[in-house]
Amino acid sequence: MVTKDPRVSIPDDWFRKKGEDRKQAEAVVRPSLSYWKDAWRRLRKNKLAMGGLVFLVILTLLAIFGPVFSPYEVTATDLRNQNMAPSAAHWFGTDEMGRDVFTRTWYGARISLFVGVMAALIDFFIGIIYGGVSGYKGGRTDSIMMRIIEILYGLPHLLVVILLMVVMGPSLTTIIVALTITGWVGMARIVRGQVLQIKNFEFVTASKSFGARTPRIIRKNLLPNTMGPIIVQMTLTVPSAIFAEAFLSFLGLGIQAPYASWGVMANDALPVILSGDWWRLFFPAFFISITMFAFNVLGDGMQDALDPKLRG
């Protein structure tokens, strides 16, 4: 009977997997990326969100340069060319005053995008300051500040707008004030919730131990770690403001003639929609719808891209 000598050692390479390279197995497959670079990489993979982003860039360029290169003025009337269908001379046709719908569409895009962006920026600044202080301070301060938000949130939005229109008069400034006087509460609640989650983390405690004051802690430690949800909220605020401006202008509470906005153009086209002048309502309604859709799909894509749980 043959016995195995316990002193005989078995070579380690007998148990090594065939074709395995230890250095290759330990190599980093993908270079390390920062949070924002990784978010951009994931956003580019979302074709629908990138399509929305490309459309918004093109729309912005057309809103800026479209009226500049158009041979027609936005308020110029020509009664000889009333309600002309789209043609080589007037790509989007003309309205009841002979004004070029193409020029007025891009001028209306300027107003709509300006209102949307300004409303989002004002909501951003007021919301992060109010929500950041409320969430960081906590206790009685947070309770009082949240009661104020609940009161503002309960005010009927349309009633506030109508009252402001009566007091201030219909104008672009009035629309922006009306949209932001209570619109920032949603941003404030999101910022507050994020700050409540991270204010007790170690890096915040370390800043406190070094004597950092509240404004610096909020600005340097808390807000940079809440920018993901804040940016997503901003992308969803813009289409809401655009639709609100179009709705108010449609009711006659927004931009006043002879200046154009998508809501004003839709309102002017409503009486003649049954007469066959379809282009007068189609183009403003189309751009309102497609712009809101582009912002929403971009916001959904950014929400997925900025979610740290999906980072990989």
Q: What is the pLDDT of residues 13-38, one digit of tens each?
A: 665 555 555 555 555 555 566 667 77
Q: Which domains does the chain have, with CATH numbers?
A: 54-310 (1.10.3720.10)
Distance from C-alpha of 197 to C-alpha of 34, rounded to nearest angstrom: 22
Question: Given this model, what pLDDT does residue 6 score?
Answer: 57
pTM over 0.85: no
Instruction: Give me the pLDDT at residue 304, please.
Output: 79
Contact 146, 135 (CB under 8 A): no
Q: How far is CA 83 from the centre of its chain?
A: 36
Region of 258 please: left (phi>0), alpha (psi -120 to 50) or beta.
alpha
Q: What number of residues does the chain have? A: 312
State the average pLDDT over residues 31-47: 76
Q: Given a cut of 90, is residue 54 above it in pLDDT?
A: yes
Q: Left, alpha or beta for 45 (phi > 0: left; psi -120 to 50: alpha)?
A: alpha
Using the predicted structure, report yes or no on whether residue 312 has a pLDDT greater than 60.
no
Q: What is the pLDDT of residues 284-305, one digit of tens each?
A: 889 988 998 998 888 888 877 7
Task: Give per-residue pLDDT as tens, 196-248.
Answer: 888 777 777 787 787 777 777 777 777 777 777 888 888 888 888 888 888 87
pLDDT of residue 311: 58
> Residue 2 pLDDT more than 60?
no
Which pLDDT score is estimated for 27? Answer: 53
pLDDT band at 5 (very low <50, low <70, confident <90, very high): low
pLDDT value of position 55: 93
